[in-house]
Amino acid sequence: MNLDKALQTFIIESHDLLQDMESSLLRLESAPNDPDILGAIFRAAHTIKGSAGMFGLDLIVNFTHVVESVLDKLRDGKIVVNGEVVELLLKSGDYIGNLVTVVAVNGEIPTAEMIAVESELSLRLSSLFNHDNNSLSSASEQDGVRSAELDDSAQMDVWHLSLLFGSSVLRDGMDPLSFVRYLGTLGEIVNITMSADTMPKSEYMDPEACYLEFEIDFRSEADEETIAGVFDFVREGSVINIVPPRKKINEDISIINHAYESDQRFDDVQVMDGGLEKRHQTKDRKVQENRYIRVHADKLDSLINLVGELVIAGASTNLLAARSGNPLLLESTSVVSSLVEDIRDSALQLRMVPIGETFNRFQRVVHDVSQELGKDIELVISGAETELDKTVIDKIGDPLMHLVRNAMDHGIESAELRIASGKPAKGMLYLNAYHDAGNIVIEVADDGSGLNCERLLKKAIERGLVTVNANLSDHEIYNLIFEPGFSTAEKLSNLSGRGVGMDVVRRNIEALRGTVELDSEPGVGTTVRIRLPLTLAIIDGFLVGVNHATYVIPLDMVTECVELDVRERQAGRQRGYLNLRGVVLPLVWLREQFDMMGEEARRENVVVVHYGVHQAGLVVDDLMGEFQTVIKPLGHLFGNVKGISGSTILGSGEVVLILDVPSLIQHAVERENITVVTEQNRFLTTT
């Protein structure tokens, strides 16, 4: 690992630690005395400071040291946790993130505006740390005071470190002396000696190898975990032994002896200590076995694409084997197909990540926006463990942001209105995710005032979106919100009221081959429900034929297949639906949907498909069986084609289209509703 890779690791881990720190700070408001939360926040800041020190990023070290000092006082109970303190620490975390981006990522110096922000934050942090003196000493001054307070004659307080750096440390771009220098910031290096025991003769020396070995006497109040953490970046391949001060060893022995009877032999204690050490080694070994590796997203995307091409090539091989009729070849290709399917599933799993990380980011959004609006709002998250394709998660953040902000601004009332209507003063916002029939469903719900149908319809008529005599259901009126430029806000704000947002939400969701719908109940609340495919790359498909064309239907949306007899065929064309075991099933003739010319087939079949709570029947000529398919985008030229979501390639090399089942079902359901309304009007007219 060279220096650039090590720095990239620091940047990634710093952002992860800052995210954890933010989550813990938001939880701290409701549990101000929880030592675990305070400890987690302190460790995050301390780790960032230590890692930044190894790379000489002094700007990050200095500011984080001030934050760490305040966190230390919080842990000791010398500073009381309240909303103001949490808000200040949240802003400090944001600034550390900005420093990491500017200094570590871009290699630049902070702007004048950033320096002004840092000065204000440092002053406020300092006032928390010491009310009598509104300034904090620098990191070196604090360490100097700490070292001066130690008793120089108390050699029993000295740690001893033996450091043998790995031979590849220099080759990896690391400077061993930088680790020793950073160690000095945690206390006082009393004595340092370099050993030449591992130094080979000159003729055997590798100029790129490291042979440095140090013996260090070190006085510090830091614990062993903190001291060991200094060498995290060079631990692999190095030999690092840390011997605690004799005073600490004596205290440990005293504690152990006290726990045993007075006649307990000390060698029994040594056995016990050995057992503890063995358990620690076992635990460390398990940690090593379960560790993760970071893989660049581009490499993962390349792997998925290659697996997709493998699926297509496998389908071609299966087709040729079927045509040959050779039983041995058919058996062999069957085994290969099974392995390809396993490889496909495993490759897709690599890109599946829990949606909880995305959800947790909204804790901060809700915290900040609720303060801006002057509302008390709590966010409740469920289904955080639900997994979704990383590509989908990366693109769902903005639509969710629109929905969350809209729910807080429009949906949840002020505390006064809530109390007047018999509700608790605190509003509730819910984020939920779950799997349903091969899709993932994400819900954004609130317990606000709900939507006013009359007001929505009036606005829609004013904008010419619907006619005055339009007969719309409540559900159809609610979905008018997703029309471009539609807004019911009475005044403009930083959050909403400009008619931009909800139409963007729908457009972005549909670009992911998903749908969005809205349910509301006046006085109870509103729920926005997003349905998305689990992956955008590879799916199992069901092949159907219409005239001379072939189409693919996503297999997880297929319920069953039904053959149409002559009588049902004629009745279905007249009514537009099929009576399927007492259930009305709207029908879509794909031949008519795509304006196909030619004679009708003698036999027709209905593929029953579902999406959410709706069902429809797709009328096709031929049923051609299951097929593993790789989704290829259509491109801008075909972006507005209704009923088509993508394309794929068959084993024969033929390009076929993938049906957009949600839009076809929506078309069928809307046509069914129109038919029902027409029949009702005809009945009222005749009577």
DSSP 328-385: HHHHHHHHHHHHHHHHHHHHHHHTEEETHHHHHHHHHHHHHHHHHHT--EEEEEE-TT
Give the containing element (helix H, strand E) for 213: strand 213-219
Return all residues near 186 (Cβ < 8 A) that are at least 6 apart.
143, 220, 222, 226, 227, 230
Backbone angles phi, psi at 216, to 5 degrees: -125, 130
* Cβ-contact 442, 391 below 8 angstroms: no
- Per residue, the 3-state secondary structure of 550-617, as one string, reads EEEEEHHHEEEEEEECHHHHHHHHHHCEEEECCEEEEEEEHHHHCCCCCCCCCCEEEEEEEECCEEEE
What pLDDT shows up at residue 639? 61
* pLDDT at residue 132, rounded to an integer: 37
Query: Residues 343-371: pLDDT tens digits?
Result: 888 888 888 888 988 898 899 899 989 98
Residues 6+ apart with CB under 8 A from 347: 303, 304, 307
CATH of span 538-686: 2.30.30.40
Element (H, E) at 543: strand 538-546
**How many CA within 13 A on the CB side of residue 229?**
17
Q: Determine the pLDDT at residue 276.
A: 40
Q: What is the pLDDT of residues 418-439, one digit of tens each?
A: 999 999 999 999 999 998 866 8
Structure token digits, residue 436:
């349903």
State whether residue 488 is helix, strand or coil. Answer: coil
Please tell me the pTM assigned to this model.
0.64
Q: Locate the domains of the chain by residue range.
A: 3-136, 140-250, 298-351, 353-533, 538-686
Residue 569 near residue 609 (C-beta atoms within 8 A): no
Neighbours of 407 (CB within 10 A): 25
User: What pLDDT score does 425 carry?
Assistant: 93
CB 630 within 8 A of CB 648: yes
Three-state SS sequence of 494-530: CCCCCCCCHHHHHHHHHHCCCEEEEEEECCCEEEEEE
Question: What phi and psi, each to the nearest 5 degrees, are found at residue 663?
Answer: -70, -35
CATH topology of domain 140-250: Alpha-Beta Plaits (3.30.70)
Helix (H) or strand (E) holding 429: strand 427-436
- Which residues of the chain fall below pLDDT 50? 1-2, 132-155, 253, 256, 259-290, 497-500, 676-684, 686-687
Class at the top of the CATH hierarchy for domain 3-136? mainly alpha
Long-range (24+ apart) CB contacts under 8 A made by 402-405 are 402/501, 402/502, 402/504, 402/505, 403/444, 403/505, 403/528, 404/362, 404/365, 404/366, 404/369, 404/429, 404/431, 404/444, 405/365, 405/369, 405/495, 405/496, 405/501
Q: Which fold has domain 353-533?
A: Heat Shock Protein 90 (3.30.565)
Nearest to 617 by CA among 598, 640, 593, 641: 593
The pairing of strands 604-611 and 622-630 is: unpaired
Handedness of CA 329, 335, 338, 344 (dihedral sign): negative
Spatial contact of 237 and 169, defined as CB atoms under 8 Å apart: yes
Contact of 51 with 13, CB cutoff 8 Å? yes
Tell me, what's the pLDDT at 162?
84
- Gap between the Cα atoms of 630 and 536, Å rounded: 9
The residues that bridge with 191 in the sheet, in sequence order, are 217
Q: Which of 648, 668, 666 is nearest to 657 (CA)?
A: 648
Same fold, 140-250 and 353-533: no
